[in-house]
Amino acid sequence: MDQARLEKVKKLRSLGRNPYAERFIRTGSLSTVSKFPEGKPAKIAGRVVLFRDMGKLTFATLQDETGRLQVAFREEIIGVDDYKLMLKLIDLGDFIGVKGERFNTKKGEPTIMVKEWTMLSKALRQPPEKWHGVADRETAYRQRYLDLMSNRESFDRFIFRSKFIQAIREFYWKNGFIEVEIPVLVNAASGALATPFLTHHNALDLDVFLRIALETHQKECLVGGFDRTFSMGPVFRNEGMDPSHLQEFTMCEHYAAYWDYRENMRFTQDMFRELLKTTRGGLKTKIPDRSGKIIEVDFGGDWPVVSLREIIKHDSGIDYEDYPTAEALRQAIFSKKIKLEVDVSRLGRGNLIDQLYKKVSRPRITRPTFVTEHTIDLSPLARRNDKNPAITDRFQLVVGGWEIINAYSELIDPVDQATRFSDQSKAKVEGDSDAHGKDDEYVTALEYGCPPCSGWGMGIDRIVALLTCQENLKDVVLFPLMKPDDKSAKITASPKSNSPVPPDSSPASTMTSSSTPLLQRLDYGHLLPAAHGLLKAHATQTHAHLIATGAAMEAFARKFGGDPATWKVAGMLHDLDWDKLEKDYESHCGNTLEQMLKTINSPAELLADIRAHYAEKYGAEHPLDSMLRKCLYCSDELTGFIVAVALVRPSKKLADVEVKSVKKKLKDKAFAAQVNREQIKKCEELIPMPLDEFIQVTLEAMKAVAGELGL
C-alpha cells in the first residue's frame, strides 16, 4: 500500500468526496463514445492508464473492457481550484468518471473535453510499470488482474475464450441439444481413466470424490428420456501437472440417443467448421504443435481416419494384438528400447497401449485426424465392436499432436459394464491408480434400459490454448491454482470448514509451537486402494493391527481437519514391513519398507510420515512436526493395546471394551508388558488431548471396523 496514495484518500474524504463511489451512470463504453460525432455530450468512466500534465492542459487516457479513450482537462473549463485538485489527487490506476463533450485533437484523436470529473475508486498500489504488461508469467498467474489491466493481448484471449464457449452453446441449441447440470461431488469417480481427488462430506459423514468426467450422469439422463444433452464445467484429476495438463480443467461433453460414433464424427466436423468460421473467420488457423512450433492447420475437407493398432504398428513396429497381457506388452516395449514418459511397472495393458501411442504416434499427427478402434481394456465405457469384440467403437480427434476430442458409441449393456468395472477395480487394487473405479449406481441405471447412444468430450482449455497459440494451459485459465508463495497471507482453511481460520486459532496450531502450518502438506489419499493391495500381499500377522491403526488415523484426521484418506493410508502402512522382517526392530521402516512403497509409486512424504513414528531411529530426520505424525506415534501402541484388552474379555469382542477398562489395564504393567505406555500417554503432551479422549476416539474407530478385525 502506497502511503502517499492513502493520504490522498484522506484528502478526498476531507473535501466531502467519497473516493469509492456507489455508482456512475455512463453514456456508453469508451469504444462506443469514441465514435460519437464531435460536440456530442457524454459521460464515460474507466481506469487511468496514461497521464500527461502540460501546464494548464492535461491529457489522460482511460481504459475499460472495450478499449481506450483520451480525455482532456483544461484549467479554464473546470476552474483553477478543481484543476489543481485533479493534478494532486489523480494517479495512474485510479478509476474516474468524467462528463464532457466529444471532439478530435489536431492529430485526429477522439477525445472528451472534461467539464466535470469524479473519483470512482482510488488505487492504493502502483500499477505495472508503464502498462507494458506483466512480463513475469508467475506474477501473471498469481495476480491475473495485473496481467489483464496491462496486457491487452491477454485480455482479448479471455474474451475469445468466452465467445468460443458461447458459440459452442449456440451450436448445441441449434442442433437440438439441451444443457444439463452435473454434480461435482460424486460417490464414484467414473467416466474416465484418471486418479480422482478425495474429500469428505461432513454433513453426511461420507468420503466422496470430485468428478473426473461429465459422462455417467448424462447417460442416466438418456435413461430418463432425454434425447440429446450437453454439459460444460470443471472436472478434477489428481495427476501430474505440466504445461499441457492441469488438475482442474473445463470439459464439454455431449450425449445423443440413437447415434453411433460415426454420426458423432460427422457432427464434430460440422461443429468445428462453424466454430472456426464464427470465431476465426475461416477454416485455416495457426496452432502450436507438441514441440511448440507454430503450424498452420486446415480444418476443411474430409479428415483422415486411422486405427490405433495400425498407427502404433507403423510407428513402433509393435502389434499389440500379439501381446495379450500387460507383462508381455511391457517386455515388447523394452525390447524396442522405447522409453515411455511414465513408470510402466504397475500399468495395466490398456494404459500401456495408451502410453505407447502417446509416445510414438500422437506427436506425428498434424492435420485433423480421427484415431479409431481402441482396445477394450483402454475404453471401459465404450461399446464393443460387433465384428471384433476386442476393440471398441471409439474415436479421438488429434490435431498437431494434441488430442482434442474423445468420443465413442456408448456401452449400454449393464452386464458387460459391470464386468469391465470389476476388471478395472482389480487393476486399481494392484497399483494402477488411473484405472477406472466401480460405479454401481450407474450400472443400476443401465439395468432400466438405455437407448443406443454416442458420447463426446472436449477439453475447453486445450482447444482455446491451441487456437490462441499458447503452449501453457495456465495462459487460458483466468485463475490457475498456484502453490502459495512466501508472501501469501498465513491463513488456512480446514477441510471441514468453509471459513478461513487464522493459524493461531486453528486446532493444529494450538497443539504445537512450530511455525509451519501443519495442515499445509502433501496428501496421498489416492493410494488408499493400493494400500489395501499391499496389506493383502505383505501383512498376514499384522493385518488387524494395521487396519485398526488406519481406522484410528482416519478418525483423528476428521477431528483435526486432515485428509481422512491420507491419514488412513499412513496408519495402514506404518508397520507394513514387520512380517517380512520377522521382528527385526532395527531394520523396521528401512529399505524393505521403502521398496514396498515404491511399488505403488508413493510420494516421499508417505515414507517420511511413517518413519517419524519410529522416533528413536528417525526422529532427527523426520521429527514429529505434523498432527498426522503425532497421532500416528501415539495411536500405534494404543491400537495394539486395545486389541489385547478385547482378547481378555469373555466375549473377545471390542463391543465390550470401555475406556475405563483400557485405562485400568494400562496401569497393570504386567499386562501386555511389551507395549510402550509412555508413548501412548504422550498424546497429552504432543497433541495435546486428554488420555481419556484419545482412547475414546481410537476405541470408537476400531469398533467401527470390528468385523474386519475379527473382534
pLDDT in tens, 306-332: 999 999 999 999 999 999 898 999 999
Question: How many angstroms separate the CA atoms of 266 and 257, rounded?
Answer: 15
Question: How many angstroms separate the CA atoms of 335 and 330, rounded?
Answer: 9
Alpha carbon separation from 607 to 80, 545, 570, 573, 610 (Å, rounded): 73, 18, 9, 9, 5
Report whether pLDDT(682) > 80: yes
Report whether pLDDT(488) > 60: no
Question: How many angstroms separate the CA atoms of 390 and 376, rounded?
Answer: 6
Mean pLDDT, residues 5-17: 95
Report whether pLDDT(519) > 50: no
pLDDT of residue 240: 76
Mean pLDDT, residues 440-454: 93
The answer to whether residues 467 and 285 touch, using CB atoms and an 8 Å cutoff, is: yes
The answer to whether residues 238 and 196 touch, using CB atoms and an 8 Å cutoff, is: yes
pLDDT in tens, 203-221: 988 889 999 999 889 999 9
Report whether pLDDT(424) > 70: no
In whole angstroms, what separates CA 486 from the centre of its chain?
A: 22
The answer to whether residues 356 and 312 touch, using CB atoms and an 8 Å cutoff, is: yes
| pTM exceeds 0.75, yes or no | no
What is the pLDDT confidence band of residue 437, given thresholds at 50, 70 and 90?
low
292 phi, psi to nearest 5 deg: 95, -5
User: pLDDT: is 188 or 481 the higher one?
Assistant: 481
pLDDT in tens, 19-59: 999 999 999 999 999 999 999 999 999 999 999 998 899 99
pLDDT of residue 430: 59
DSSP letters for 424-479: HHHHHHTT-TTSPPP-HHHHHHHHT----EEEEEEEHHHHHHHHTT-SSGGGGSSS
Beta bridge partners of 108: none
User: pLDDT: is 491 or 262 the higher one?
Assistant: 262
Give the contacts of 453 (CB within 8 A, at least 6 positions apart). Answer: 219, 222, 255, 256, 257, 258, 259, 409, 410, 412
pLDDT of residue 428: 57
pLDDT of residue 516: 33
Question: How many angstroms separate the CA atoms of 662 and 145, rounded?
Answer: 58
Report whether pLDDT(564) > 90: no
- Side-chain-side CA neighbours of 425 within 13 Å: the count stands at 14
Cell triple for 642: 486395545
Mean pLDDT, residues 486-498: 42
Q: Which residue in this structure is represented by grid cell 471396523?
A: 705
pLDDT of residue 282: 94
Average confidence score pLDDT of the chain: 88
Sheet holding 206-210, edge to edge: 185-186, 206-210, 198-201
Report whether pLDDT(508) > 60: no
